[in-house]
Every structure is written in C-alpha cells, then in structure tokens.
Amino acid sequence: MFLPVIIAGGSGTRLWPLSRQLNPKQFLPLVEAGMTMLQATINRLDGLEHLPARLICNEHHRFLAAEQLRQSGVEEAKIILEPLGRNTAPAIALAALQALSSGDDPVLLVLAADHLIQDVGAFHASVRSALALAEAGKLVTFGVVPTHPETGYGYLCRGTSVGEGGFKVDRFVEKPDLKTAEKYLATGGYYWNSGMFMFRASRYLEELEQFQPKILSACRESLAKGQQDMYFTRVDADTFATCPDVSIDYAVMEKTNDAVMVPLSAGWSDIGSWSALWDAGVKNAEGNLFRGDVLAERTTDSYVHATHRLVATLGIEDLIIVETKDAVLVAHKDQVQDVKMIVDRLKAAGRYEHANHREVYRPWGVYDCIDSGERYQVKRITVKPGEKLSVQMHHHRAEHWIVVSGTARVTNGDKTYLVTENQSTYIPIGHVHALENPGMIPLELIEVQSGSYLGEDDIVRFEDIYGRVKD
C-alpha cells in the first residue's frame, strides 16, 4: 500500500474570475458536474490499495478543504496547514516527516489537487509500475506522453530502461519555445513533466538532506513547534517562513542519481488556463464548450461559462467568456495565459475581486454580499444546522438580522433568545453577540450592516468553536 499526498496549495490565478485567492481552482467543479477538482483527485484513487489520503493546503482554505473531503467520504482526514506558500519541496517534506513520525515508512504518491486525468485505468497502471520502482528505492516521476508541441509545460528526457516500465531520467528541460517543442515531439523520448511523484518517505528525506538541508531543518522544526487542532496539523509559522522556497524538481529530482520516469498516457492536463479547459472538454459541432445558461448564434470554437445569468453570444470565434456574480472575463483563447495581469491590476487597485467572490464560504456556512454603499452593506447569510458564528463585537457597525427561514439562537449582550421566520433583531455597535442555528434545516437570514466602517477586519472575537483568529 502507499500513502497519497495531495497538494492543494495553489492560487489558480489563470482561471480568474471563477478561481479566486480564497476559493482557487482545486476547490471548484470545473470539469465534472457536482465534483470539484480535489474531489475528483480523491475519487481517482478508488481501485488502488492505499492508506487514507493526506492533504496539504493553505491555512485560509482549511475548512473548505475539510468539507470537500467530508463530502467525498473522508471523514477524518489528516490535513497539514501551510501558513504561507513555500513551494512543493517543503510541502512534501512536511508530509514525509509526519508519515515517519508514526513509526512507518510508507511510499508516498504525491498528486496535485487540480489536475485532470481522463483515463483512470491507465493512471492506475502507471501508479502500479511506479510503486514497484519506489519500493526499490527509486524516486519516480510521471512523464506524460505528449500529444502536441506544448510550450506551457516542462519536459523530461527519457534515458535507458530500468525495468517495471520505467526509464532513467536523463535530464529535466525548462518550458521550451514552439520550435523546440516541435523538435521534442518529432524526435521522441521527451515527455511532459506532470509534477506527480512516487517514492518512499525516508528516501525523499535522505536526498533532501543531501541537496537542501535548510529545507529539511526548517520543516522538522516547524512541525516540532506546531500543534494539532482537530484533524489539522498547524506548523509553526515563524519557523516555516525561514524555509527556502524551492520546488521538488530543483531541490531533489534534478540532482539525485535515482530519478526515474514512468510514462503516463491517460488524458492528463494541469488545467492551467481557460484554453486548456476548452481543449479538455467535449465540444459541440461548432467547436464550442458551454457551461450554464448560454444562448449562442454564429459562435465557433469558444468557451462560455455562465454561472448566474444568461450569457448570449453572436458572431464570435475563439473567445473565452466567463461570467460570475461580480465579474465577467472576455478574452481571446491565445491570450488567456496572461489573465494573471488582470489579477495583478486588481490587487494593485486594492479591489476585492482577486481574493473573494461575492459568496464567501465559512466553516459555519456561507454569506453573499448582495448590496453595499458608503455606510451600509446587505448580506444574505446561510448557517448550517448545528453551526455557530463566533462570539464577537464590532467597533464601527451595527447589524440588523431578519430571519427568512429556519430558527436563529441569538446572543445579544447579556440576553439569549430565539428569532424565527419573519422576525428580526438589532445588534447595536459595541454589543457582544453571536448567531447559532439550533435547528435541523439551514438558517437563512438577511443582515443589514450600517456604520462608519464595514470591513471584515472590524471583528473582536471572544470565543470561536473553529479556532479561528480572523473570521
């Protein structure tokens, strides 16, 4: 058996406006209806004998990740939280160290949470070949058999056979220009670098100690100083911040003498852009791929994603159109690799659209900012049954809650009372308050905020069942 280690720490900026900093692409249902990329990654392991998966994600995504794992039937997942991103070499080191701490030395299958693999049977076959090599002490990477001269991926150059369907990696190649990529495809022996790996935990740490000892030292110390919070492992933030920011390729795989490659021909894509999503999908007779409510006339070779309203197109070709509640992207397919430029401009302007959707997920439920002005903001709030918002206070805003459906248990100063459908309550500025759903159905309410400052950082928290510092 092996231990799956799923890395879910990316920000997914190239799939804006659907992917945002606090809800990136690995947590979105981009390919399979009703199933996020993370959930598809977990389901893909069905049919392979393995230990319970371990997830590595950013601190900000912990409840989103835990809920999606729960929905996939992983009730008691082990989730390692990174306080900040330090690339793949440290992330994998944390997982390897934690695995060894239990007294075992499992083989790790390192997967990205946001990859598409269409042929699960072929994926399983490659994993079984890699497992035999990893058990023999090799550090295995998966080389994707190229289908076209791609300039967006790094490449592996295949060397001599090492048995079990694997080959020695002669060299790792950076992303090429088109002419070089065409040469690789014509020559043969070159594969796309998938960013998936398999090796025994101790072997990876041995090589890391040889080539990047500072990474190993920082990861060991940050784990030792960390703490366990439910099923979350919180590493020490200050120590982890000293860790070098290095990928596993640069840290280990390009330096070790034991790097081998197993070919993978399974309809793989890293879904790194909107055009990649169009490439991977099933298109209609006009070459279009539509999601949601789309009405098209004289439209060809385009991708249109409508999330909340009708999107109509007329006389277009080779376009990407993505609609969300608060933003619309229109781009030519050959320009979508530069979507990050839009995200950077949003950040520079101090706007929220790069980080959040209008709908924001919390461990207790979700809220949607449906209207706002200079001194007011209106939210639609949904609280899951049995859940509770933190006991808190605001310095600059008052709140008026109107229950639409369900029952709310409200703490307002020194009083606690129930508010039911079509009833309301008022929380003055400076009052300590809390909101809880004691019922069996979701609690739906409208919150009207008013005051001189309405930012989410105007929260003084006194008690929180989820262990949060900020809401």
> Residue 469 has what pLDDT?
61
Q: Would you say residue 41 has pLDDT above 90? A: yes
Percent over 90 (pLDDT), the chain: 86
Q: Which fold has domain 359-463?
A: Jelly Rolls (2.60.120)
| Overall average pLDDT of the 305-334 stretch | 96
Q: pTM value?
A: 0.89
| 161-206 per-position pLDDT tens digit | 999 899 999 999 999 999 999 999 999 999 999 999 999 999 999 9
What's the pLDDT at 471? 45
Check whether 356 has a pLDDT greater than 90. Answer: no
352 pLDDT band, cuts 50/70/90, is: confident
> pLDDT at residue 146 above 90?
yes
Mean pLDDT in residue range 224-239: 91
Query: What is the three-state SS of the chain?
Result: CEEEEEEECCCCHHHCCCCECCECHHHCCCCECCECHHHHHHHCCCCCCECCCEEEEEHHHHHHHHHHHHHCCCCCCEEEEECCCCCHHHHHHHHHHHHHHCCCCCEEEEEECCCEECCHHHHHHHHHHHHHHHHCCCEEEEEECCCCCCCCCCEEEEEEEEECCEEEEEEEECCCCHHHHHHHHHHCCEEEEEEEEEEEHHHHHHHHHHHCHHHHHHHHHHHHCCEEECCEEECCHHHHCCCCCCCHHHHHHCCCCCEEEEEECCCEECCCCHHHHHHHCCCCCCCCEEECCEEEEEEECCEEEECCCCEEEEEEECEEEEECCCCEEEEEHHHHHHHHHHHHHHHHCCCCCCCCCCEEEECCEEEEEEEECCCEEEEEEEECCCCECCEEECCCEEEEEEEEECEEEEEECCEEEEEECCCEEEECCCCCEEEECCCCCCEEEEEEEEECCCCCCCCEEEECCCCCCCC
> For the segment 404-459, what is each residue's pLDDT rounded down to a tens digit?
999 999 999 999 999 999 999 999 999 999 999 999 999 999 999 999 999 888 99
The predicted structure's pLDDT at residue 429 = 96
- Class of domain 2-269 (CATH, top level): alpha beta
Minimum mean pLDDT range among 87-91, 213-217, 353-357, 467-471: 467-471
Return the domain boundaries, the chain.
2-269, 280-344, 359-463
Per-residue pLDDT band at 74 (split at 50, 70, 90): confident
Q: What per-residue confidence (pLDDT) applies to 128? A: 97
